[in-house]
Amino acid sequence: MNTPALDALSLLLVYSAMAVYTVAFVAFAVDVARRSAARPVPAHELVGAGGPAVSAPAEPVAIGPGRGARIGFVLTVLAWALHVASVVLRGVAAGRVPWANMYEFALTGIAVIVGVFVLSRLWRDLTFLGVYITGLATAFLGVATVNFYVEPIPLPPALQSYWLVIHVFVATLATGFFALGSGLSILQLLKERRAGGFLRSLPSSTQLEDLSYRVSVIGFIFWTFTLIAGAVWAEHAWGRYWGWDTKEVWTFIIWVVYAGYIHARATRGWRGSRSAWLQLVGFVAVLFNFTVVNLFFKGLHAYSGL
């Protein structure tokens, strides 16, 4: 098959993946709604010997993901398989790694975000993030196909480097972990505010915070690597390892915000919702860096292809 045919097939797979993600999203949403509607079970007040009242674990039935969530998860895996296939085909069509312009960054980046979510299942059951992740994936894929799509073209010389493979891919990996962490932080914040409905069935806010921290720290390690690799590449391509180019500035900002987040987690009085807010500020900066900075800011990283 030639390039346009492969690319058309890739696009077809993207649309299919979007359709399945949407159904998965609905399944997750129905599950959340069902759990929100469930009659709250009064928490048993147990009074310990000499201790304060401690609420018992929430109603056990609500803890495990419901059928909707299980269906949602299976559909997410299916959509992800279609999505990954579309990414691979795009790469084959272009004859290089499929992350060299906005459309491809988005396509691959979202696949990595969902991939981190799906594979995290091997470690922890985070199905309760399904609505967030599939929602994010559907919305971003929509924007990417409608607004960012370009036909595959060869790499400009500035991008012909193995650093493209390493630097950009590790950046999307970091983004995947930050995205997962931000979902957990959002739930943590919600949970700290109220504990009714759907939220009742989630882990405690402390546990959500711990999970978010662990995931975000992985993201931070990858981001640190991205920053260093970017500097090495910049030296090869532009003759200096650091020049405060707009994209460099934003990569730095994100790194510093997450360093602040890590310190906040370790500081009395900053743990809890403050550190969760910092995690979210960091992730918003990641999204901002990817969208607004790529599209509207002037700089050397003019690779959006638009």
264 binds another protein (CB under 8 A): yes
Site for another protein in 45-64 (CB under 8 A): 46, 48-52, 54-58, 60, 63
Q: Using CA atoms, how far apart are residues 47 and 77, in angstroms rounded to an integer?
A: 44
| Cα 215-124-181 angle, rounded to 5 deg | 25
Reading the block at residue 41, the tokens are: 């079970």
Give the CB-nearest residue to ligand HEM: 266
219 binds another protein (CB under 8 A): no
Binding another protein (rule: CB under 8 A), the pick from 81, 143, 237, 287 is 237
For 152, residues 6+ apart whose C-beta sits below 8 A from its C-beta are 3, 7, 90, 93, 94, 95
Give least dist CB 184 to another protein, A: 14
Reading the block at residue 1, the tokens are: 């098959």
By the 8 A CB rule, do 293 and 246 touch? yes
30 binds, among ligand HEM, another protein, none (CB under 5 to 8 A by kind): none
Which of 19/292 has CB closer to another protein?
Answer: 292
Which of 67/263 has CB closer to another protein?
Answer: 263
Size of the site for another protein (CB under 8 A): 85
Which of 147/151 has CB closer to another protein?
Answer: 151
Amino acid at 187: L
Give least dist CB 266 to ligand HEM, A: 4
Looking at residue 157, the DSSP 8-state letter turns out to be G
**Segment interacting with another protein, rule: CB under 8 A, options 12-20, 71-79, 130-138, 249-257:** 249-257
Site for ligand HEM in 252-271 (CB under 6 A): 259, 262-263, 266
By the 8 A CB rule, do 289 and 247 touch? yes
Reading the block at residue 30, the tokens are: 């129905």
Which of 147/267 has CB closer to ligand HEM?
Answer: 267
Instruction: Name the CA dihedral angle for 158, 164, 167, 172, rounded to a multiple of 10 degrees.
Output: 120
Binding another protein (rule: CB under 8 A), the pick from 213, 222, 283, 290 is 213
Q: Using CA atoms, how far apart are residues 143 and 135, in angstroms rounded to an integer?
A: 12
Which of 26/237 has CB closer to another protein?
Answer: 237
Site for another protein in 151-170 (CB under 8 A): 151-158, 160-161, 163
Reading the block at residue 68, the tokens are: 């909707």
Amino acid at 68: G
Burial of 85 per CB tally in 10 Å (0-12, 13-18, 19+) = middle
Give least dist CB 257 to ligand HEM, A: 10
**Segment interacting with another protein, rule: CB under 8 A, options 28-36, 74-82, 85-93, 149-157:** 149-157
232 binds another protein (CB under 8 A): yes
Site for another protein in 178-207 (CB under 8 A): 191-192, 195, 203-207
CA distances from 10 to 18, 102, 130, 165 (A): 12, 16, 25, 20
Buried b / exposed e over 279-302, threshold 16 CB at 10 Å, is bbbbbebbbebbbebbeebeeebe
Which of 105/223 has CB closer to ligand HEM?
Answer: 223
Which of 98/138 has CB closer to another protein?
Answer: 98
Binding site for ligand HEM (CB under 6 A): 259, 262-263, 266
